[in-house]
Structure 1
Amino acid sequence: MKKLLVYALLAIWVFAGLGTQGVQAKGAQQYGEISFDHVSYLATEIGDRVAGTTGEELARDYIYQTFEQLGYQPEVQPFSFSGPNKNKIHSANVTAVKPGRSKHEIIIGAHYDTVNRVEGVDDNGSGVGVMLEVAEKIQNIDTPYTIRFIAFGAEETGLRGSNYYVSQMTKPEINHTKAMINLDSLAVGDMRYVHGNAGKKGWVRELALDISNELDIDLHVNPGLNPHYPKGTTGDWSDHAAFKEAGIPFTYFESTNWEIGAQDGYTQTREHGSIWHNPLKDNMAFIQSEFPGRMKEHLQSYSRILTELVQRVQPNSKGQYMPWLSKQ
């Protein structure tokens, strides 16, 4: 019954809210508003999206249909893995490609599954919302490179979707992927962060910081208070990890607080500690009540930065990509 009801709601949403005129109207919205609408739908209309469940399947279909209504040609990449009881769990990634002037790619990814009994507003409806907003904002922009959007399934069960995606990449595809941008838990943390590789491979992080300064957005890096995570870097606990392992430069946006708790980014707020994975906290009612205005501000900030960032990289004569601080 729940599945039929949500499919009916999806049909109403597609034909009444996201027909051609609906997409155009949404494209005129202020930064963050599109993201907020997507987060609200995922959290309150679908609810928890545990890997292999109807909830995850409904979220997958919602993301697919959103890309489709925006004019993309999305694809589903199914995969399976063994559950804790040796049962087979089926999940999938959803991909959509924005062609650019070059076939070299930048990947923007966010996982859409949740843990059990959690609406997943922060973790990770927020990341999916920003990804879909950026897909809408840039759909008619002539970008210098191709942008591949990926909604990953089954992140919460061991980064399954991103690991599977990278495992299926050929060497030429890896070589043509110039960066992976990961969006995870953006809504609630005390501060907004951007992480990246150590050394020269951290150039996307530095570009994001330059853009945030221009836009007067307060974007931080991990200050390196915990010696296990040097300044500007982060741990391998989200969907960027497989790409990093493959040698692809990564950037990871998140909202948390690296200055409290164990100084490892897991304690997100001074007032209420961690929000993610908590069924009493990672829901729309709690977040809107306890952090009024924060989620919309965060979604707006990340959407603005990322929409600008994907236009700020230009290829040189060797097909390599270098950051530029102004668009051509």
Structure 2
Amino acid sequence: MKKKFSITFIAFVFGLLTFVGSASADPVTYPPSLAHKDGAVAYEHMKYLADDIGPRVAGSQNEREAAQYIQGQFERIGLETEVQEFDYSTSRSSSNVVAYKEGKSTKQIIVGAHYDSVSVGLGVDDNASGVGVLLETAEVLKNIKTPYSIVFIAFGAEEVGLQGSKYYANHMSDEEIKNTIGMINLDSLAAGDQMYVYGNAGEDGFIREQALAIADKKKLDVETNPGLNPHYPAGTTGDWSDHAPFKAKGIPYGYLEATNWEIGDLDGYQQTVEHGGIWHSEKDTLAFIEEEYPGRVQEHLSTFSTLLTDLLKFMNKTSTSK
């Protein structure tokens, strides 16, 4: 997640919710009651990626298994799905898993989360949590006519230099870039002390402003970077995650994250008062986070799923006021 370089529509009521794992795995089933609680499906996806598959290091077999799992989920949901393979060195390859949902307009929003992790810990927070919210939102919205078409992307090889998002953004045509009104990035949603949404400075920050308006209306505990550090003006963040390649193309971004901008160097690197950063450490496991912060994971996944779903349902590019 941070400084990676140096560092509710229910479409599956009346039946079991079936998750498809890797090509060789038996389907995983859960009670349909999970569909009635925001964040519950996201939690199961997150848990499967972290606990059943484990660390998903870029280029590894586990990363490939995670890609297969995500592809299976998109296909089960019924979305048009493709796998975008890419090489990021002479001997390393990965893939982006891309799903398309048609909206009222051919203009599109990209929603992305990386599914790889570092080797230490299990990558629950960074970033099985983001993938869980991505997949739950895709499920909830699949039969809802959204204002814009949505491209859901699970990025590979983020932890080794944003390779998946760079590859995708660099292979967008000029017409596709022009047709994309924004990119929403989901990264490390589960462990941090506070939930945030960021965006561009100025008028291009409309995604952040609409998200904050939804949070205010629904009384969701989501805020934005307070701007205590002059290097990161209020409402913005650094270019250390998968939003950055799209921002570089002139595409406005929104970015959901859980951390703490009011401790340490006031740069968002220290997620928690008690334990500092959870990401990229042996603490990034579900067992540790739930023992230290009971209920936090469920609260965060519920909040972010609710926020993202409403944002995609009511997105209005022309509105920039809270």
TM-score strictly above 0.5:
yes
SS of aligned partner of 1:128: helix
1:323 aligns with 2:319: yes
Aligned with 2:196 (options 193, 196, 200): 193
* Separation in 1, partners of 2:254, 2:34: 25
Q: Are residues 29 and 266 of structure 1, via their aligned partners in 2, closer, same or farther at CA, if it must alter by over 3 Å?
A: same
1:30 alignment partner in structure 2: 37
Q: Which residue of 1 aligns with 2:3?
A: none
Specify whether residues 143 and 8 from structure 1 end up closer, same or farther in structure 2 by C-alpha distance, changes over 3 A only: closer
How far is 1:37 from its partner?
Answer: 0.3
Change over 3 Å in CA distance of 1:93–1:228 after alignment to 2 = same
Contact 1:313 1:324 (C-alpha < 8 Å) held by counterparts: no
Inter-partner Cα distance in structure 2 for 1:263 and 1:74? 40
Aligned to 1:244, the other structure's residue is in SS state helix
Instruction: Tell me whether 1:58 sits opposite 2:61 in the alignment.
Output: no
> How far has the Cα of 1:195 moved from its partner?
0.5
Say whether the 8 Å CA contact 1:27–1:137 is kept in structure 2.
Answer: no
Give 2:39's aligned amino acid.
Answer: G
TM-score, with normalisation over the residues of structure 2?
0.90
Q: Where does residue 26 of structure 2 map in the other structure?
A: 11
User: Tell me, what secondary structure is at the counterpart of 1:248?
Assistant: coil
Identity value in percent: 53
Deviation at 1:192, TM superposition (A): 0.3
Please show how residues 166-205 of structure 1 align to structure 2 within 5 Å: 166-205=169-208
Q: Is the 8 A contact 1:56 1:112 kept in 2?
A: yes
What's the CA shift for 1:324?
8.6
Report how many residues are paired: 302
Q: Which of 286, 307, 311 is equivalent to 2:313?
A: 311
CA–CA separation in structure 2 for the residues paired with 1:192 and 1:38: 20
How far the C-alpha of 1:12 sits from its partner, in A, is 2.5
Q: In the aligned structure 1, how far is the partner of 2:81 from the partner of 2:264?
A: 41
Is 1:218 the counterpart of 2:221 in the alignment?
yes
Determine which of 234, 248, 272 is the counterpart of 2:237: 234
Name which of 47, 54, 59 aligns with 1:47.
Answer: 54
Contact 1:180/1:250 (<8 A) preserved: yes
**Which residue of 263, 287, 293 maps to 2:289?**
287
Q: Report matched runs for 1:236-315 at 5 Å.
A: 236-279=239-282, 281-314=283-316
1:50 Cα deviation (Å)? 0.4
Amino acid at match of 2:181: K
Q: Which residue identity lines up with residue 27 of structure 2 in the other structure?
A: I
Residue 73 of structure 1: how far off its partner (Å): 2.0
Contact 1:179–1:250, Cα closer than 8 Å, also in 2: yes
Structure 1 match to 2:17: none
Counterparts of 1:71 and 1:97, CA distance in 2 = 10
Deviation at 1:74, TM superposition (A): 1.1
Please give the alpha-carbon distance, in whole angstroms, between the structure 2 residues aligned to 1:107 and 1:75.
15
Q: Indicate if the aligned counterparts of 2:116 and 2:159 stay in contact, CA closer than 8 A.
A: yes
Pair 1:134–1:324, CA change in 2 (3 A) = farther
1:27 CA drift (Å): 7.2
Is the 8 Å Cα contact of residues 190 and 269 (structure 1) preserved in structure 2? yes
60-69 or 214-223, which deviates more: 214-223
Does structure 2 conserve the Cα–Cα contact (< 8 Å) formed by 1:27 and 1:136? no
- Render the CA deviation track for 1:89-145: whole Å, top value 9, x for unaligned: 010000001101111000100000001132100000000000000000101101121
